[in-house]
Amino acid sequence: MSYLELHQLETHFTKMAGNLFSPRKEIIRAVDGVTLSIEKGEILGLVGESGCGKSTLSRTVMQLIPATSGSVVLNGESLTHLSTSQIRKRRLDFQMIFQDPYASLNPRMTIFSTLAEALYQRHPNLSNKETYDRIIKLMETVGLDPAVMKKYPHEFSGGQRQRIAIARALAPEPKLIIADEPVSALDVSIQSQILNLLKQLRADLGLTMIFISHDLGVVRYIADNIAVMYQGKIVEYGEAESVFHHPQHDYTKRLLASIPKLPAA
Ligand SMILES: Nc1ncnc2c1ncn2[C@@H]1O[C@H](COP(=O)(O)OP(=O)(O)O)[C@@H](O)[C@H]1O
Ligand SMILES: [Mg+2]
């Protein structure tokens, strides 16, 4: 049994279509029968073009939206069958990192308050001293100078804000991190720093991660295995280098062809 297993997972949305006189319901099969397994400490890269269902799949795994059918099993426990209150408790075990850290950080909260709030979710009774010590450690873990803990998000660059968002995700000691396009809004030079940080965290903390991107080149850099998603389905899965060098599916070949090539020096 793998650490995280998705069995025939489906998430459908209904949308009203047609017109006023002949309305009809249209079903959007955002996630359409996904079966995947992830080992503990693995980084799975999930890649596909915009609209193929990557974010919906991640939110379904996190139990933020209910699955239409199928199951999510973490460490032998089916999450799809938990009650709402059980899910609320489990939610600390899964943390997300998003594309836009500025939107996901509260602009009125200092880094200290943001991280303290995240720490208290798991450890509500931390003393001031313990909180302070843990925040210093978290900031060091993500490569931020603890001296800036009293600053606000707008005082940081995009890359630093993403480091803050990563520190916040780590604070409740999650078992699984889903990073949804975490470097897509960053300059290329900053992208590799954040990718290296995530790799380092996996090595140091043994994190299990689903790393989502529309860019196969980025996913190849960080992932152990790659799942290629197309119209709600996984059309190709395999070890990262083998998917990159020997893609089987036409869609993967097209994704590969769309990676910008550096001009020859
Ligand atoms: N809450 C929702 N209600 C209706 N349709 C949605 C909702 N969320 C996503 N979709 C649709 O599901 C499909 C997959 O979207 P999404 O998971 O955001 O793709 P991706 O993250 O790969 O860009 C799209 O067609 C999108 O319009
Ligand atoms: Mg998305």
Query: What is the Cα 29 distance to its own chain's centre?
Result: 21
How far is 122 from 118, CA to CA, in rounded Å? 8
- Point out the ligand 1 atom lying closest to the alpha carbon of residue 58: 17
Tokens 């080992």, located at residue: 39
- Point out the ligand 1 atom lying closest to the alpha carbon of residue 50: 23
Of 210, 176, 184, nearest in space to 58 by CA: 210
Confidence of residue 70 (pLDDT cuts 50, 70, 90): very high
Mean pLDDT over 145-174 rounds to 96
Q: Specify the higher pLDDT residue, 260 or 184.
A: 184
How far is 90 from 118, CA to CA, in rounded Å? 15
State pTM to two decimals: 0.93
- Pocket mutation for ligand 1, best pick of 56, 180, 231 (most atoms within 8 Å of C-beta): 56
- Point out the ligand 1 atom lying closest to the alpha carbon of residue 56: 17
Ligand 1 atom 7: the closest Cα is on which residue? Answer: 13
Instruction: Identify the pLDDT of residue 91.
Output: 86
- Would the pLDDT of 263 be above 80? no
Query: What is the Cα 80 distance to its own chain's centre?
Result: 19
How far is 100 from 180, CA to CA, in rounded Å? 10
Of 62, 8, 32, 28, nearest in space to 212 by CA: 62
- Would the pLDDT of 264 be above 60? no
Ligand 1 atom 25: the closest Cα is on which residue? Answer: 51
Cα 55 to middle of ligand 1, angstroms: 7
Alpha helices by DSSP H, listed for 11-126, are 54-61, 84-90, 101-104, 111-122
Residues with CB under 5 A from ligand 2 (ion): 55
Which residues have any ligand 1 atom within 6 Å of their CB?
Answer: 13, 15, 28, 30, 48, 50-56
- Point out the ligand 1 atom lying closest to the alpha carbon of residue 229: 22
Confidence of residue 261 (pLDDT cuts 50, 70, 90): low
Cα 12 to middle of ligand 1, angstroms: 9
Cα–Cα distance list, 99 to 106, 178, 183, 200, 220 (Å): 15, 11, 6, 19, 18
How far is 54 from 46, CA to CA, in rounded Å? 7
Contact 62, 52 (CB under 8 A): no
Instruction: Identify the pLDDT of residue 262.
Output: 59
Ligand 1 atom 8: the closest Cα is on which residue? Answer: 56
Q: Specify the higher pLDDT residue, 40 or 88.
A: 40
Alpha helices by DSSP H, listed for 31-141, are 54-61, 84-90, 101-104, 111-122, 128-141
Instruction: Identify the pLDDT of residue 101.
Output: 79
Domains annotated for the chain, with CATH where assigned, are 4-256 (3.40.50.300)
- Point out the ligand 1 atom lying closest to the alpha carbon of residue 180: 21
Q: Each residue of 105-140: pLDDT tens digit?
A: 999 999 999 999 999 999 999 999 999 999 999 999
**3-state DSSP assignment of residue 104:** helix
Contact 172, 95 (CB under 8 A): yes
Ligand 1 atom 27: the closest Cα is on which residue? Answer: 51
How far is 83 from 66, CA to CA, in rounded Å? 11
